[in-house]
Structure 1
Amino acid sequence: MTRYHIWLILLLAAVALRLPDIGNPLVDLDEQMYLLVGRRMWDGAIPYVDIWDRKPVGLFLIYAATQALPVDPVVAYHLVAGAAAVATAGLIAGLVRRLGPPAGALPAGLLYLVWLELIGGRGGQSPVFYNLLIVAAATLVWRAIAERRRTGAVAMLLVGIALQIKPTVMFEGAFLGVALLLAHWRHTRAPVRVVAAAALYGIAALIPTLLAWAIYVAIGHGDAWWFANVDSIFLRQVTPHDPIIGRLAGALLVLAIPLAVAIRGLLAAQGPARGFVAAWLGSALLGWVLVPPYFNHYALPLLVPIAVAAGLACDRGPMRLLAGIGGAGLLLMSGYPHRGDTAAARRDLAALAGVIARHAGTRCPFVFAGPPALYTTGNFCLPTRYPFPSHLIQSSENGAIGVDPAREVARILTARPPVIVTGHPVRDGNDRTIPLVRRAIADHYRPVARRLGVTVYARQD
């Protein structure tokens, strides 16, 4: 099978897998926030200053760029995410062809696309985008090792760009950098040249981050960038109510079949390829284990090295059969093809936005515990620069967002928002902000709509 046939099949598979969700504004809560930031950037909003989240600016730039497409905002980022998924699967297949039997290339790409759907990658989560950069970097590193190509600096630059989408890439990036330096040492045995190469690779990996920081410093917001990208990450806490063990177990259960096939592939691999892929998978697993609270999409970066390792075994019928039956079974159990979900989500969201618009007028509603997509759907103004509900309602964010959440909520309520949207309390809910909102609703608001698990309250006066 030629490369062109592989790419065509992967494209068709991605369309079949992702088409039911294209345009669904409620696929993932995080993505709603990223889209909100991306759209507000077109209106002049500056991330970390006018609208706050702790993700690197590269992710917001991707979402902002998708909004240049002349289609529905949600459809736009879904199309770009789908293209990234196909490209990643294609590069995975290409890398498998370099590392092992060509017959495992297509199954490896298909495995990536299927399990992307099963563990939080149906839409545009950050790994859907940066996995593409990492597999491209890994391919360049392997070429530098096996073919002695001078592709190391470009590979580390790709890692640096990925770091500006999500910092946890640093674990895989560190592995790729070390692999390059070990290859340099084997080829030259010259300490000075290895040190020079290390400096070059380090600079290449840091350039995107240094550029982002320098731009924020130049516009007078260097402190805001530093707090969001560095300090706030370490200030966020894991609470006793976080079901960490359950999340870990759930992810491992979903990944059990591809992991088993991947282990078989590593055992079947020969020469340097085995060590390269095993170390890559180990670095990705380390990055996953060290970064709680282990939401399902946190495991998405594992899929790239898992798929590559599995491809080394999928030239054999039994391994293909195991991966194929397992993937199909899990897809059906997950609800694929999610019939009617997209239409229902768009209808319910538009209905809620319509109710909010009638009661809010030109003033800003307060979506306290509800989908941030409401702000985007209704193009409403924001009552706070912290529109992501988790920042104000989860106790794990106390002291981690740059302001006291209770004071911020009190400030919002003092402005008498015309509408408050809230749902059921969360397990690790903030015991200072939630009572404030409940008290305000009881004293001054009445329910006017209920959908999507939330209630819209309009101010009585």
Structure 2
Amino acid sequence: MATRAISGIKARPATGSSLARWWPFALIALLVLALRLPTFGNPLLDLDEQFYLLAGDRLLHGQLPYVDLWDRKPVGLFLLYAAIRLLGGAGIVQYQLVATGFVIVTAWLIRAMARRHAGEGAAILGAVGYVLALNILHGAGGQTAVFYNAFTAYAAWCAFRANDATSSRAVLRLALGAMVALGLAIQIKYTVVAEGAFLGCWFLWRLVAVGARPGRLVVMAAAMLAVALLPTALALAWYAAIGHLVEFVFANFVSIFHRHAFPAAFHHQQLAEVAACGGGLLAAALIGLVRLRQAMPIAAWADWALLAGWLASALCGFAMLGDVFSCYALPVALPAALAGAWALRGGRWGFVAGCLMLGWPLLFMPASYFVARQSAGATDRMVGSLAPYVSGHCLYVYDGPSILYLRTSACAPTRFLFPHHLVNAAEADALGVDPVAEERRILASRPGAIVTASRAVDPVVAEGPRALVQAALAHDYVLVDRVPTIDRTFLIWARRDLRAERAQARR
């Protein structure tokens, strides 16, 4: 509202428009915080993000990903977690708060895109549907997609804005902004390339639609591709400069092709779990696509085609790795939530879509969502049991929480700090080393303590490494604690001579 003077005194600017602009953001932020608050402080929330936090911490202490600690995720993910470690504290609540900030941004962008064809209420409900989907698809903490979905959402927002643009300059500006975001997303997880490829093609189509000449179109396409690949190219160049290009290329691009497939029964079980958890949101999305196409004027068909193509590309990214884990479906939840918001147009089908998107997740809320205090207590107990035996000696987590390396500040006898690389038989030929030889080398270093689990979470356990560990435990180690958690019991083993020394010292 314009400011005007009365009786020579300038009136204050009205704040109504500002309040109208910011209350939806404040509401979304509060809802996101409320929905994720029960998980704060849970160090065992997810296997993956424990390792990401550990890797970020080790990176700050001079250890290089792929060289001193092994994984196949992009280095950008570990740099992100290293930045989080700079916030101080134990790192658990810190990474969960940062992840929540990314979720707030993603939810806000869903609301902004949904407002193109939905009212404020439906747009906010679509954002809430996305947050609920995260909670049931192992995205309640700091999974990779929790972070990179914010960048993908921004790129998609730019694509929708490009549908309104009338000049090649405006489209190119939006395209380059989207490619910057997608380049950062790729450095968190490479499967974003599926969505990136689709959105890149969409921007090229928009450039053609606004009259870009063929010669200029080639230059624009090259610029977009260069911007999107720049972060990865910089990472590759840096590893080449320090003499570790081979390790970088193998871990990031080659190793995935050497993994073995999981057993068909496990694959089908995982697929059924993902379908059950995400089926409600996906059904709401399909309703939204159908209703939007029926109600949309012909002139606005581009929005429908963009959303349908984006959802299809996200499904391609989900299927890209072959394995089926719930967290792999998190990128699909992003366009699905937007389509679900567009389904909430009143009437019977709008009500059905609302129930599917908002009520369905409540049926599949994981038990880990409610046990932050118990998990923190179990972790503290494990740290206390390990402490006497890893002071001056290394810790080896054969099968257990990798966060124990961080919490105990213990050295590790291997660069495979994510336990499931050596436990999982599917990884046997994808590590660049012989798992049996690596296990033999680890045990020969005589770790002060070893952590195992009452049952493996991997569908097929590598028998060679397991047999070596069992033999070493029987001969050289003694069980000092059993710590139950929500899904498994973790066994704490101390080296027999260290245990005897500790018993002698107590006398």
Q: Tell me if structure 2 keeps the 8 A contact 1:266–1:312.
A: yes
Of residues 434-443 and 237-246 in structure 1, the stretch that sits farther from structure 2 once superposed is: 237-246
CA–CA separation in structure 1 for the residues paired with 2:151 and 2:85: 21
Q: Tell me if structure 1 keeps the 8 A contact 2:114–2:342.
A: yes
Could you tell me which of 393, 401, 410 is aligned with 2:440? 410
Could you tell me which of 438, 442, 445 is aligned with 2:470? 438
User: Which residue is equivalent to 1:389?
Assistant: 419
User: Which residue is equivalent to 1:401?
Assistant: 431
CA–CA separation in structure 1 for the residues paired with 2:364 and 2:321: 28
Helix, strand or coil for the counterpart of 2:416? coil
User: Which residue is equivalent to 1:334?
Assistant: 365
CA–CA separation in structure 1 for the residues paired with 2:369 and 2:397: 27
Alignment of 1:108-257 (within 5 A): 108-148=126-166, 149=170, 150-188=173-211, 190-240=213-263, 243-257=266-280
Alpha-carbon deviation of 1:346?
1.2
CA–CA separation in structure 2 for the residues paired with 1:120 and 1:422: 23
Larger C-alpha radius of gyration, 1 or 2?
2
Residue 312 (structure 2) pairs with residue 282 (structure 1): yes
Alpha-carbon deviation of 1:331?
2.4
Alpha-carbon deviation of 1:96?
1.2
CA 1:168/1:337 → structure 2, altered by over 3 Å: closer, same or farther? closer
Root mean square deviation of aligned Cα: 1.8
How many residues are treated as equivalent by the alignment? 460
Helix, strand or coil for the counterpart of 2:343? coil
User: Which residue is equivalent to 1:369?
Assistant: 399
- For residue 377 of structure 1, what is the amino acid of its counterpart? R
Residue 301 (structure 2) pairs with residue 294 (structure 1): no
Residue 439 (structure 2) pairs with residue 421 (structure 1): no
CA–CA separation in structure 1 for the residues paired with 2:27 and 2:404: 37
CA–CA separation in structure 2 for the residues paired with 1:101 and 1:272: 19
Alignment of 1:299-378 (within 5 A): 299-316=329-346, 318=348, 321-326=351-356, 327-328=358-359, 330-331=361-362, 333-334=364-365, 338-339=369-370, 341-378=371-408
Helix, strand or coil for the counterpart of 1:301? helix
Q: Tell me if structure 1 keeps the 8 A contact 2:344–2:354.
A: no
CA–CA separation in structure 1 for the residues paired with 2:121 and 2:386: 55
Q: Could you list the per-position Cα deviations for residues 172-219 of structure 1 after superposition, in whole angstroms to 9, with x for gaps in the alignment?
A: 001100101111122226321221221111111110100111111112
Q: Which runs of 5+ in 1 are unaligned?
A: none
User: Which residue is equivalent to 1:5?
Assistant: 23
Helix, strand or coil for the counterpart of 2:417? coil
Helix, strand or coil for the counterpart of 1:428? coil
CA–CA separation in structure 1 for the residues paired with 2:333 and 2:136: 11
Q: Tell me if structure 2 keeps the 8 A contact 1:261–1:319.
A: no
Alpha-carbon deviation of 1:239?
2.8
Alpha-carbon deviation of 1:71?
3.5
Alpha-carbon deviation of 1:356?
1.0
Alpha-carbon deviation of 1:332?
5.5
Q: Tell me if structure 1 keeps the 8 A contact 2:287–2:353.
A: no
Of residues 256-265 and 327-336 in structure 1, the stretch that sits farther from structure 2 once superposed is: 327-336
Alpha-carbon deviation of 1:430?
0.3
CA 1:337/1:373 → structure 2, altered by over 3 Å: closer, same or farther? closer
Residue 490 (structure 2) pairs with residue 459 (structure 1): no
Identity of aligned pairs, percent?
A: 38
CA–CA separation in structure 1 for the residues paired with 2:78 and 2:363: 33
- For residue 446 of structure 1, what is the amino acid of its counterpart? V
CA 1:142/1:197 → structure 2, altered by over 3 Å: closer, same or farther? same
Q: Tell me if structure 2 keeps the 8 A contact 1:111–1:323.
A: no
CA–CA separation in structure 2 for the residues paired with 1:129 and 1:36: 17
CA 1:241/1:440 → structure 2, altered by over 3 Å: closer, same or farther? farther
CA–CA separation in structure 1 for the residues paired with 2:265 and 2:186: 26
- For residue 463 of structure 2, what is the amino acid of its counterpart? D
Q: Tell me if structure 2 keeps the 8 A contact 1:26–1:345.
A: yes
CA–CA separation in structure 1 for the residues paired with 2:251 and 2:72: 5
- For residue 402 of structure 1, what is the amino acid of its counterpart? G
Q: Tell me if structure 2 keeps the 8 A contact 1:25–1:74.
A: yes
CA–CA separation in structure 2 for the residues paired with 1:338 and 1:288: 24
Q: Tell me if structure 1 keeps the 8 A contact 2:191–2:320.
A: no
Q: Could you list the per-position Cα deviations for residues 205-259 of structure 1 after superposition, in whole angstroms to 9, with x for gaps in the alignment?
A: 1101001111111122111111111111211221326611121122122222222
Q: Which runs of 5+ in 2 are unaligned?
A: 1-18, 498-507
User: Which residue is equivalent to 2:6?
Assistant: none
Q: Tell me if structure 1 keeps the 8 A contact 2:118–2:345.
A: no
